Amino acid sequence: MTISYEKFHLKEVINASGKMTILGVSKVSEAVLAAQRFGGEHFFEMSELSVQTGAFLANLLKVEDAQIVSSASAGIAQSVAALIGKGSLYHAYHPYTEKIEQREIVLPKG
């Protein structure tokens, strides 16, 4: 299936503001496209992929650990769950359970 502006009656736009979600976020490099293609053409044990890619990224950043997420909002949600859960994965996987009594954080405005 070919995707084009004409096929879906879309107008071409110029993103003069940098990264804007409303405009499709940002373009990706050839290296990223190649990695996406490889990922789309192969199978992985997802839990191991998550661990290994996190370790690879942590090594690059020289930090204790890292987790690749699908978007900024996903990263924020997982970070909040980690803070509330004090490191327990239960909070990340069960954010709406009634077992969790402390579930609020205060974010400074500004």
Residue 17, token pair as written in the block: 């503001």
Question: Per-residue confidence of the chain (110 residues) as pLDDT tens digits?
Answer: 688 889 999 988 887 776 666 777 677 899 999 999 999 999 999 999 999 999 999 999 999 999 888 888 888 888 888 788 787 778 777 878 888 777 777 878 86
A 10 A CB-CB count for 2 gives 4
In sequence order, the β-bridge partners of residue 25 are 20
Cα–Cα dist 104/92, whole Å: 14
